[in-house]
Structures are given as structure tokens and as C-alpha cells.
């Protein structure tokens, strides 16, 4: 039987594509170690992974060629090329620490990107089609009477699930910035480096314990309050899914996800502002979904809930206000509505900003807090870029420029510059000079950027690598999840006591010794890039299916992520808010199956 010419060409293209992909992937893996080629990483067919990768790529390409959906192919091509690019350039930044070595290397990187895209594009199609499956599943509406007690039952179940780890690590996981914040309370020297509301909440519980003669006993009340708030936020999300008649299986999975996924239990007892921020962010995003996607008729108490949740978000993370403002401006521009309504919503946004600033001003006045780190925190990425130029291009810049850079940050810190952590240069940066000489600082930043754009790009890529690089990158890029006590070296220390021993079997190996990174699936779910790519593919799916209303709900999370990209490093706790809202994104995908949620014109209107 004669094979049609088209099919013959297709088969040749698939085989050639599979070979191209394996050669590209093996070259990427060869950069992981100088000894990589000795273990068969750099040669096609030398190891079993090359053979398996070749077979999988062939299978994926065959499935891609069978599909005739041009829009799917276009969206998958964009998302697949993006995935391929971050793999190639992330590898060069991380393992070579230099993207633009030579013209030959730049050309090689472009070829490698195309080679990785051979598999990344069909993989993107498979992911987008999985969103389609979830979308179709959402058509199965749950029928039954809504019980108001559902929220309290779920709240109790989730909170009870966190009790054992609380009793094991009583009075809580005193780690990250908590010691530095409580030292402010003890010394009565508050500052705005960390959110004051969070510092005051922890300080009130700590001081209660000190007055009672046991700081640990007092601090447990902060941990319990945090557990209650986080579990209540999760219960509210589950109750929202329940009211919206989401299929029962999905709701049960969501509740189990909130109650049993060990990351949530760990964060529930961990004294970091990111936990409460995630709780308030989920609450805020549910209101945004109700307003933008469900198109509910909001009454005054709904707007009050929206405003309160938004303000609490902004009070728990200093960068949240920028995400809310940028996201809201984009939404007001996109959403089709008359000018009067847009002015009304703009006024509402302005009111939220004013109330947030008033709340911060009140906390500052009440605690006599000193405003510090405003410039070096806001422009930490600019400092990181300048430090990279000074560290790596010392011989290419004039002595005058080098000394000007050293005026903003100590030369000793520049010598120990880390591509992955801006804290090494921002912590001792000259805040007063940046404030008083800000125009000249900007001029210096622009001047060095025009001369060394490659170093600026690499500084930004290295600093954000943990947010989007999907391959193995080592622990030091994003840091481990800390699970122990840091001492304050003060009279009243917080001392751990163990009231329940069995959680030690699960949580001590996972988090105290960091074995969670070695557990299949669980380890990847603890990586920031997993959740960033979930948000990315959600937005790509909205573009693919022209779900404008669904896509609007991802604007503010995307803007928050953009503020993180300008931060000092990539850490999971910074984007824990994206983890907790995963079931909400799934709901938006499922409910998009209801065509009545969208006007025929494709324009979203808010009543």
C-alpha cells in the first residue's frame, strides 16, 4: 500500500523533530555539570533517558499533528516557545552564569530554544486540553439544598486537621522574620521594614505571655489566631464552591487539599506575614470572582467585604498595594461599562488606597515606628543590577563610576555578590544617599544599563529563576522551607514544647530535614514555578477559549507576581497566595462552561 506523500512528510518531520529535541535537551543537561558528558548526558542514545525522551516526543508530536485546531496550535506555540526559552536561558544563567558569551553561543541558544519547543509546544497543547476537560466537567451541576452550616463544619474540619502539628511544634514555627519583628517589640524600636500590623499582632501575643510569666504560652495565641484565619479563608472558599453548585467530587477534593496537603498545615503554624496575606488574598479574590466573573449584584456589605479584604492584604504585604492599583487600572480599562460607573469604581479604589495609608499611618503613630528601607527595598533590583556590573565588569567601567556605585552599597558586599539574592547588597545599602540623591541614582542606573544591558537582563533572570525555571536548579535558588526556632537572645525566649509526638513521623523528615524535595510530585508542588505556570496556563487557556471574563480574574494575581519579579529573590512563601487560590482558578475554568455567564459580544459587563 502506497503511503500518501503528506503522511510520509509528516512522519519524517516527527522523527526529525524528536531527534532535534533530544540533542537540544542533552546539551541543556550537559551544562548541569562539567562531568555531565561522562555519564552519557551529552550524546544522543548513550543513556536510557535519551531513548525515553525520544519516544515521548514522538508520541506527543503524533498527537499534535492529528489535531486541526489552528487556534490551539497558535496559543500552544506561544506558551511552548515561552517554556522552551525559560529552560534554555534559565539553564545558561544558572549553570553558566552568562547568557551572552559570544555570537556563536547566542545563535546556539536560539537553536536550542527551537529544539526544546519541539516537545514544549505539544506539551502545552496537552495542558490546555486538560483545562478543557475540567471545563466540561463543570457542566455537571450539583443539585441540592444549600445549608448555611456547611461553612462552619468545613471550618472546624480544616482547623482540626492543623491541631496535631500545632501540638507537636507548640507554640508555633518561630522562623523567618519573626525574631527580628519581635525584637522591635521588646526594644520598643518599631520600623516599617516589615508590615506593622503583623508585628503588632505577634507582639501583643508575646507580651501577653511575658506578663503571664511564659512568653511561649502567650505566643501560642498568635499561632491559634493565624490557624483560625487561614482555615476560615479555606472554609469560605469551599462554601463558595458549595453555593455555586460545583460538582461534589471537586468540592471534596478542594476540602481535602486544604486540610491534608502538608504545606498548608506547615504555613498555618509558621510566624510569617505571608500566611495571613494568603488568607486575606484568597478572601479578596473570591469577591473579585463574584464581581467580575459571576457578575453578582453587589450590595453595600459586599463592597465592604471587598474593601476590608483588600486593605488587610495591603497591610500584610507592602507590595500588594501596587498589584491592586495596577490590576484595577487594567480592569477598568478592559471592562466595558459607562464612564460614570468607571469613575465610581475608580473612586472606590482610591478610597481603599486612602484607608490603607491611614491604617498604616495610624499604626506608625501608635508604635512610633521609624520609616526605613523604603528606597533600598523598592529599588532592590536596581541595586542588584548595579552590583552585578560592579562585580563582573570591574575592568570595563571607569574608577569614577565604580566609586559612585560603591557609594550606594559597600564594596565588601559587592565582592560577595550573589546572583540569586539581593539581600547581600540591599541590606547595607545607603538609604539616606539614595533618598537625597535619587535623581543621580537613576541616572547612574540608566547609564550602566545602556552600557551593559546583558548584565541587567541576567541579574533579573537569575533573581527570578525560582519563579519559572522548571528543571532542577538546586536548593539555594529559592531556599528551603524553614521549620525550626530562631532565638532572639533576649530574656524571654520562645521555647518549643512537644504535646503530640506522632506528627514528627511525617513533618520532621519532610520539613526539618528538607526531604520533601525528594518526594515525587510532592516535591514539585513545593516549588514556586509549579504555581506560577499554573497561573500562566490558566491565562493562556482563557486566551485559547476566548474566555475574557475568566481571564479578568487572573489580572490582579498576575500583577502581584509582577511585583515579586522586582523583589530580592524567589521564595515559595512570597507566592503562597497563588497556591491557596488554585481551587478558585479551577472553579473559574469549570464555570466557564456556562455560556450564559458571557454576553454574545464577548464583552464583559458588570451590573
Res 261 pLDDT > 60: yes
CA-based nearest residue to 227, from 155, 320, 136, 120: 155
Helix (H, G, I), strand (E, B) or coil at 191: strand
Give the Cα separation of 182 and 487 in Å (integer): 10
Res 523: pLDDT: 87
What are the tens digits of pLDDT across the range 57-93?
A: 999 999 999 999 999 999 999 999 999 999 999 999 8
Can you say whether the dihedral through the CA atoms of 161, 164, 165, 166 is positive or negative?
A: positive
With H, G, I as helix, E, B as strand and everything else as coil, classify residue 270. Answer: strand
pLDDT at 604: 33
- pLDDT of 376 strictly over 90: no
pLDDT of 561 reads 96
- 34 falls in which pLDDT band (50, 70, 90)? very low
Phi, psi for residue 144 in degrees, rounded to 5: 160, 170
* 3-class DSSP state of 32: coil
Q: What is the pLDDT of residue 467?
A: 93
Q: How far is CA 543 from the centre of its chain?
A: 21
Cite the DSSP H helix spans in 188-214: 196-212
Alpha-carbon gap, residue 352 to 63, rounded angstroms? 50
pLDDT at 595 > cutoff 50 = no
- CA 312 – CA 281 distance, rounded (Å): 8
Closest CA to 249 of 127, 136, 133, 138: 138
Tens of pLDDT along 394-444? 999 999 999 999 999 999 999 999 898 888 898 889 989 999 999 999 999
Range from 24-33, 354-363, 458-467 carrying the lowest mean pLDDT: 24-33
More confident of the two residues 514 and 458: 458
Contacts of 520 (CB under 8 A, 6+ apart): none
Question: Is residue 510 predicted with pLDDT exceeding 50?
Answer: yes
Q: What is the pLDDT of residue 35?
A: 37
- Supply the DSSP string of 462-505, one letter for each residue: HHHHHHH--S---GGGT-----SPPP--SSS----B-S--THHH
Percent of the chain with pLDDT over 70: 93
Q: Which residues make beta-bridge pairs with 191? A: 370
Looking at the predicted structure, is the pLDDT value of residue 598 above 80?
A: no
Least confident of 102-111, 269-278, 333-342, 407-416: 333-342
pLDDT at 137: 87
pTM across the whole model: 0.92
* Per-residue pLDDT, 2: 58
Q: What is the number of helices (H) and of strands (E) in the chain? A: 29, 0
Instruction: Give pLDDT, residue 3.
Output: 60
Q: How far apart are CA 15 and CA 323, in angstroms?
A: 46
Over range 541-558, report the average pLDDT. 95
Query: d(Cα 593, Cα 81) in Å, to the nearest integer?
Result: 28
Give the span between the Cα atoms of 59 and 71, in whole angstroms. 21
Name every residue whose Cβ is closer than 8 Å to that of residue 255 and which is 6 or more positions away in sequence: 154, 157, 158, 238
Q: Above 80 in pLDDT, residue 43?
A: no
**Mean pLDDT for all residues in the chain:** 89
pLDDT average, residue stretch 301-319: 95
Asked whether residue 38 carries a pLDDT value surpassing 70, the answer given is: no
**Hey, what's the cell of 512?**
526539618
pLDDT attached to residue 42: 46
Among 103-107, 135-139, 152-156, 470-474, top mean pLDDT goes to 152-156
Cα dihedral: 239, 243, 247, 250 (round 10): -20
DSSP for residue 420: T
Stronger pLDDT, 479 or 287, i.e. the higher one: 287
Residue 393: pLDDT band (50, 70, 90) is very high
Does the N-terminal peptide bond of residue 171 adopt cis geometry, omega within 30 degrees of 0? yes
Q: Is the pLDDT at 123 greater than 80, yes or no?
A: yes
**Of the candidate ranges 28-32, 123-127, 544-548, the one whose mean pLDDT is the lowest:** 28-32
Amino acid at each position: 500500500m502506497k503511503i500518501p506523500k503528506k503522511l510520509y512528510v509528516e512522519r519524517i518531520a516527527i522523527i526529525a523533530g524528536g531527534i532535534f529535541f533530544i540533542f537540544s535537551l542533552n546539551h541543556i543537561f550537559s551544562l548541569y555539570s562539567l562531568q555531565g558528558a561522562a555519564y552519557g548526558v551529552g550524546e544522543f542514545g548513550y543513556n536510557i533517558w535519551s531513548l525515553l525522551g525520544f519516544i515521548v516526543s514522538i508520541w506527543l508530536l503524533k498527537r499534535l499533528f492529528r489535531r486541526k485546531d489552528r487556534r490551539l496550535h497558535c496559543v500552544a506555540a506561544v506558551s511552548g516557545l515561552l517554556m522552551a526559552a525559560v529552560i534554555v536561558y534559565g539553564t545558561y544563567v544558572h549553570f553558566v552564569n552568562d547568557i551572552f558569551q559570544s555570537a556563536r553561543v547566542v545563535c546556539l541558544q536560539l537553536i536550542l530554544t527551537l529544539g526544546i519547543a519541539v516537545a514544549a509546544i505539544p506539551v502545552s497543547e496537552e495542558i490546555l486540553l486538560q483545562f478543557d476537560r475540567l471545563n466540561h466537567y463543570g457542566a455537571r451541576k450539583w443539585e441540592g439544598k444549600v445549608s448555611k452550616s456547611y461553612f462552619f463544619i468545613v471550618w472546624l474540619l480544616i482547623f482540626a486537621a492543623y491541631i496535631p502539628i500545632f501540638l507537636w511544634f507548640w507554640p508555633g514555627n518561630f522562623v523567618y522574620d519573626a525574631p527580628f519583628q519581635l525584637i522591635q517589640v521588646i526594644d520598643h524600636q518599631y520600623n516599617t521594614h516589615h508590615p506593622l500590623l503583623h508585628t503588632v499582632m505577634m507582639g501583643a501575643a508575646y507580651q501577653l505571655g511575658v506578663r503571664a510569666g511564659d512568653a511561649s504560652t502567650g505566643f501560642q495565641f498568635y499561632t491559634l489566631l493565624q490557624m483560625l484565619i487561614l482555615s476560615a479563608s479555606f472554609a469560605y472558599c469551599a462554601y463558595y464552591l458549595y453555593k455555586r453548585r460545583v460538582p461534589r467530587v471537586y468540592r471534596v477534593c478542594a476540602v481535602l487539599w486544604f486540610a491534608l496537603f502538608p504545606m498548608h498545615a506547615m504555613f498555618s503554624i509558621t510566624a510569617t506575614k505571608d500566611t495571613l496575606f494568603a488568607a486575606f488574598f484568597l478572601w479578596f479574590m473570591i469577591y473579585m470572582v463574584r464581581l467580575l466573573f459571576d457578575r453578582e449584584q453587589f450590595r453595600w456589605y459586599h463592597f465592604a467585604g471587598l474593601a476590608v479584604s483588600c486593605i488587610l492584604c495591603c497591610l500584610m504585604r507592602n507590595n500588594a498595594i501596587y498589584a491592586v492599583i495596577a490590576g484595577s487600572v487594567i480592569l477598568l480599562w478592559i471592562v466595558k461599562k459607562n464612564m460614570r460607573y468607571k469613575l465610581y469604581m475608580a473612586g472606590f479604589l482610591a478610597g481603599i488606597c486612602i484607608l490603607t495609608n491611614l491604617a498604616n499611618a495610624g499604626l506608625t503613630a501608635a508604635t512610633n515606628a521609624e520609616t526605613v528601607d523604603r528606597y533600598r527595598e523598592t529599588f532592590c533590583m536596581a541595586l542588584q543590577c548595579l552590583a552585578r556590573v560592579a562585580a563582573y565588569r570591574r575592568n570595563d567601567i571607569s574608577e569614577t563610576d565604580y566609586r559612585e556605585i560603591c557609594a550606594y552599597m559597600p564594596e565588601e558586599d559587592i565582592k560577595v555578590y550573589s546572583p540569586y539574592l539581593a539581600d547581600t547588597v540591599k541590606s547595607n545599602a545607603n538609604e539616606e544617599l539614595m533618598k537625597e540623591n535619587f535623581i543621580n541614582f537613576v541616572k547612574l542606573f540608566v547609564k550602566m544599563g545602556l552600557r551593559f544591558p546583558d548584565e541587567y537582563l541576567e541579574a533579573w533572570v537569575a533573581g527570578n529563576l525560582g519563579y519559572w525555571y522548571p528543571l532542577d536548579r538546586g536548593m539555594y535558588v529559592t531556599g528551603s522551607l524553614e521549620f525550626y526556632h530562631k532565638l532572639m537572645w533576649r530574656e524571654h525566649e520562645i521555647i518549643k514544647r512537644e504535646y503530640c509526638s506522632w506528627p514528627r513521623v511525617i513533618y520532621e523528615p519532610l520539613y526539618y530535614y528538607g526531604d520533601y524535595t525528594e518526594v515525587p510530585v510532592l516535591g514539585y508542588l513545593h516549588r514556586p514555578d509549579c504555581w506560577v505556570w499554573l497561573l500562566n496556563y490558566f491565562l493562556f487557556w482563557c486566551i485559547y477559549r476566548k474566555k475574557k471574563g475568566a481571564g479578568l480574574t487572573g489580572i490582579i494575581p498576575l500583577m502581584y507576581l509582577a511585583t515579586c519579579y522586582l523583589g530580592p529573590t524567589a521564595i515559595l512563601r512570597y507566592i503562597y497566595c497563588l497556591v491557596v487560590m488554585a481551587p478558585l482558578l479551577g472553579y473559574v475554568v469549570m464555570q466557564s462552561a456556562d455560556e450564559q455567564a458571557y454576553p454574545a459580544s464577548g464583552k464583559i459587563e458588570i451590573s
